[in-house]
Structures are given as structure tokens and as C-alpha cells.
Amino acid sequence: MNHSNHTTKSKKNKYLTEQDRYQIEALKKAGFSNLKIAEQIGKPDRTIRREIVRGTVTLLNSDLTTKEEYCADVAHRKYLENASNKGPGLKIGNDHKLAEYIEDKIINEKFSPDAVIGRIKTEGLKFKSSICTKTLYNYIDKGIFLRLSNEHLLVKKNGAKRKYRKIRKVALNNTKGRSIEDRPEAIDARETVGHWEMDCVVSGRGSKNVLLVLTERCSRHALIFKMAGKTQDEVAKALDKLERKYRNAFKKIFMSITMDNGCEFVNQDLIERSVMTKKKRTTAYYAHPYSSWERGSNENTNKIIRRFIPKGSDISQYTHKEIKRIEQWINNYPRRILGYKTALEVYQAA
């Protein structure tokens, strides 16, 4: 076949226009075949066949039977909808290594999309393409990834901010406890390492086992201990064990502890008194009633723990080794508030 007999046609005006679609509708009603319509319109037979499929609708006859018919209006509306959804090409389209890295971090290591992007920047990792956190969330929403979906995300924020109000009253069950209002401003400002928040994560019904969770306010470093019950003695036992471990350094490591007014914490003397010297080992502060936001770092840690131990779970079924693995994950998780460093990195550098 020589050059004068080539069959390649110009790509100019290759798309069907709205006028073309009305012509197709008229020719179909006149009984023309798809091949004949293609010759009349001047388009490939395959284009006409695909267009017929796109614009075919099911109509109801007067005798309640149905028939299928091509409708130019429907076909053109679908064409415009599809065209508006095309958008620019995917930045991550040909970067399989970046896609695999993101999937591995979110699915296997339980990172948030923001933590993945932040860690790529802080570690100086190089890929063919780069995307921002918002784009990554959009890709996950649209199902761009092969294995990754919204089900793998810890939480999807809706942008609405919770309104807080400060409670200015003392807990009735803890009238002698040292109020958070007496806590120095330096602790509030998170200027130094050594000030902690403390809370309990409880089991589902039928189990008394709980987790005692301590979160350092400056670095967000976490310590998690499994306890046999939600009691004052169990809390004291856990703190005593920590004191024996760190000995004289305990007072410097745990300069203060802020907690709620739960029955397991209200014995201030038991928390503050050293098991070794009987002197004061730390300073306890109590948040206002119904003000969990005053222990925000602690609450965030609890929320992350619930990703591994869902509400209603029996904590007694989790071994100490598994609890420590959760603790290790939390302390090695990059945080935006820490410049995408981990809590362990910040705590050890302090």
C-alpha cells in the first residue's frame, strides 16, 4: 500500500457535536444501520456504536411494554458530565514507587495521609512526583489507589471545630485535690519536658482490666501500663513501679501529673508520696469536671490506642508485649505538631 492509499484520517473535529447526535437520532429512527450512520456522519463505525450505547434509554409504551431508543439529549448530557470529570492528569499516575510507599505507610504502618507526606519531606525522600496532603486525601476519596481506601484512615475530619467552655467548679468527689488553676503557666505553655497527663482506658463489660496512660505534654511521649482494675491501689502500684525503675531521677522525669477526677485518681497523697522515701515525688493537678480538653494530649493518645484496642474489647486478652508494641508505635509516629518528628525523637532530644 503506497502513501496515496493510506486510511489514516485527520484528527480534526474527531469528537461528535450536539448537532451530530441529533442527526444520529434521526437516522436511527429512519432505520439506518450503525455502519450507514457512520458513513453519513463521517465518523468511524466504532465511534457510532459507542455513542449509541451511551445515549440509549429505556422508554415505556402506552401498553406498559418497554423499548430501547437512542436519545441525543441524554447522550450529550452524559458526554458533558464525563468531560467535566476528566480534569488534569494524575500527578501520581506513573510513579508506582510513591504509590506503593503511601499504601504501605497507611495500610501496614497505620500512618495518616498527612503523616506520610510530612515524613517524606523531613526524611528528604525522592520520588518522580510529589503531592500535598489535600491531593492525597482527594486521591483516596476517588479510589485512585489499588489497595488504599477511606476505610484505612484513622479519622476523616469534617472541618467543624468543637466549641469548648471552661467549667469553673470543683469536683464534688475531689474537693481537696489541687486544681489545674494552680498549675504554673510554664506547664500550660509546654515549655519543658517532665509534665505529664494521666488517664485510664477501660475494657468492655465483663472485664476489670484497664490501661493506665501517661502522656508527656511537651513531646507527646506516651507510657502505657496494663492494670488489673480501675482502683487507687492499682494506680499507686504502677507509679511505684516507675519510681523504683528510675529511682532518684523519677522526680525530674515526672515533675507533675495532671489527671481528671476519676475515683482511681482522687487520692492525691497516694500519687504524690514516694514509695521509697515517703517524701513528695511529684505534683498532682486535677482538671475541671467535664473538661477533657484540659488533658488534650492524653485524650489524643487514648484515641490512637482505640485504633488498636477498639471500644468494648477485653483488655485482659492483650498481653503486656502487645501493649508495649502499641506504646512503641505511638512514640514512633510522626506528628505535624512536632514538625513531623516523632514523640520519641523530641523526648530524647530534650
**Phi and psi torsions of 58, nearest 5°:** -100, 125
For residue 327, give the nearest of 307, 346, 305 by alpha carbon: 305
Q: What is the spatial distance between Cα 301 and Cα 201, in angstroms, rounded to a whole number?
A: 10
For residue 78, give the nearest of 60, 56, 58 by alpha carbon: 56
Contact 198, 259 (CB under 8 A): yes
Contact 290, 167 (CB under 8 A): yes
Residue 219 CB-density burial (10 A; 0-12 exposed, 13-18 middle, 19+ buried): buried
Domains and CATH numbers, the chain: 9-84 (1.10.10), 96-152 (no CATH), 180-349 (3.30.420.10)
Contact 298, 198 (CB under 8 A): yes
Q: What is the DSSP string of 272-284?
A: HB-TTTSSB--EE
Residue 26 CB-density burial (10 A; 0-12 exposed, 13-18 middle, 19+ buried): middle
| C-alpha pair distances (Å), 268 with each of 34, 137, 277 | 87, 45, 17
What pTM value is reported for the model?
Answer: 0.69
Contact 71, 113 (CB under 8 A): no
Per-residue pLDDT, 8:
40
Q: What is the spatial distance between Cα 235 and Cα 201, in angstroms, rounded to a whole number?
A: 13
* pLDDT, tens only, 108-151: 999 999 999 999 999 999 999 999 999 999 999 988 888 899 98
| C-alpha pair distances (Å), 54 with each of 15, 45, 84, 215, 304 | 14, 14, 16, 58, 47
| Residue 52 grid coordinates | 449509541
| Residue 104 grid coordinates | 504501605
Per-residue pLDDT, 75:
87
* pLDDT, tens only, 273-291: 999 999 999 999 999 998 9
Task: Name the residue with cell 474489647.
Answer: 313
Name residue 242's beta-bridge partners: none
Contact 146, 92 (CB under 8 A): no
Per-residue pLDDT, 157:
55
Torsion of CA 334, 343, 199, 329, to 10 degrees: 60
**Positions in the chain whose pLDDT score sits under 50:** 1-12
| C-alpha pair distances (Å), 2 with each of 5, 6, 8, 9, 11 | 6, 7, 12, 15, 21
